[in-house]
Amino acid sequence: MTAGISGGIGIGGFTCVPGDLTRRAEDIAGFDARWHALLPDTAFEKMGCGTFSAMSRPVVEHVTDCVTAVLADRGLAPEDVNRLVVATSDACLERLDADVAVQVLAATGMTRCVPTLLSHLQCCSSLEALRYGWQLFDDPAIEHVVVVAVDFTPDDLDRVRSFAVFGDAAAGCLISRTPGPGSVELLASATTVDHAGLLGEDSFRSRQQAATSALDTVFARTGEQLQKVAKVFGSNLYVPVATFNAMAAGVPRGQLHFQETMQRHGHCGNADWILNLVDHAAGAPLGPGELYVALSSAPGFFACTLLRGL
């Protein structure tokens, strides 16, 4: 899918609201037994973890805080927002209140906003939400769309996995016809399916094919090259896992920006790429004309989006 939309539309106001508690995986009750059952021959210390963020307040409050911060970044009135797109992973979908969208709209004052909830792509859901939000601008009446990714894990032992320690966060951005400084435009987006992964029968080869297919698609459609990309914002997996996955997809380790965020917040599901973009931009603002890639992988899916600074 190529951007296909003109008129100076941009994506900005990138914001993250991590869980308000900072904790260590090693302090979780039953951690040692859990880790031994997962990877008995691997020392946890080699995974590169530090702490993870956990929510102590209701999830809707974190989502509301995120939306409020996104609007405040641009000084945008809540009633001027046309659409709200909330993305979450499959496991979190059933944990959200049935009226979570209504709660957020009421708490933020977005009285003219139409909400959409997008899921079923695991950690790739927010990149699909970004693509969906961008395509809404085919309608000339659309002026502002807020996209929010949220993921959280209530059971502490469920946080500890063979590929990551899960944290909690809400993260978002604003797609607007009047973008502010530090905004980017969406050049192309692609999501591929690894059918074997959906069945729990994925292999290195099937995952690699899904990744390279998506990346090849966005670069072929834009005529750009991976070598020209300034930074790649991916998933906050254990350092060995993230590095291996990047190499398999042909992404040089030096282009990745994830480790610092992973060490502070853990793997926050489909919110990761936004957390990493925000963290990078805090030290090196997104530059006009610079290329960036946001990507995410999950069992059965790989998604990537090519962005360019405005």
Q: In this predicted model, what pLDDT tens digit does every residue of 71-104 receive, in sequence order?
A: 999 999 999 999 999 999 999 999 998 899 999 9
**How far apart are alpha carbons 89 and 175 in whole angstroms?**
21
Nearest Cα residue to 190 out of 117, 118, 271, 127 = 127
User: Model's pTM, two decimal places?
Assistant: 0.95
Where does 10-176 sit in CATH, by number?
Answer: 3.40.47.10
Average pLDDT, integer, range 94-116: 94
Q: Which CATH superfamily is domain 184-309 in?
A: Thiolase/Chalcone synthase (3.40.47.10)
Cα angle 268, 119, 168 (rounded to 5 degrees) comes to 20
Q: How many percent of the chain have pLDDT more than 70?
A: 98
Answer yes or no: same fold for 10-176 and 184-309: yes
pLDDT above 80 (res 120)? yes
Beta pairing partners, 185: 308
Domain residue spans of the chain: 10-176, 184-309
Q: Which pLDDT score, from 0 to 100, does residue 96 have? A: 93
